[in-house]
Amino acid sequence: MKRMHIHVGVERLDEALKFYNALFGQPPVKTRDDYAKWMLDDPRVNFAISTRPQTGLDHLGIQVENDAELGELRDRLRQADLSLFDEGETVCCYARSDKSWVTDPGGIAWEAYKTMEDVQFFAGDENEALRPVEADKGASASTACCPPRVSPEAECCAPTETTTGTCG
């Protein structure tokens, strides 16, 4: 079964936690110094917030539960002749996932992904030093957890002719 994913960048995690706990009527299932995630069943949403370089909508996605669902979703995007970037297995948002990225006509990044396991760091790999997201403001797409570049000319987080400058 699929679950809608929404990730929002916030300035102050403590204020956002208070607001979203009241809105959703429940505490997050995962909380870190720079991140929180609610796995809601009604509506079925994986809603995450983090202290990111940009505030507001960060990215959207469809989270699947198994390889078959992920393959079906990727096939639909390819058949629609969309520019799909298969990132493969990666670590982002305190989880190891298999993901692909696409950008909608309005420039919003969408990820299609399956989470394999929780990890103890925000992005990168086990060999990287643990650090909060705010330290990654100038980092590369892979360590800052931004959606990868869809076209070779695009720069993550910087507007160009092929991107809107949205990131993550």
Phi, psi for residue 92 in degrees, rounded to 5: -160, 140
**Range(s) of the domain holding residue 114:** 3-144
Distance in angstroms (rounded) separating the CA atoms of residues 129 and 13 = 22
Enter the pTM of the model. Answer: 0.66
The set of residues, in sequence order, having a beta carbon less than 8 Å from that of 42 and lying 6+ positions away, is: none
CATH number, residue 112: 3.10.180.10
| β-strand pairing of 109-118 with 3-9 | unpaired
- 84 close to 101: Cβ distance less than 8 angstroms: yes
**Rg of the chain (C-alpha set):** 15
Within a domain: 76: yes
Q: How many domains does the chain have?
A: 1
pLDDT at 23: 78
Average pLDDT, 10 consecutive residues per value, the chain (168 residues) = 91 91 90 95 91 86 91 86 84 84 83 85 56 36 48 36 37
Start-end of H helices in 44-94: 67-79
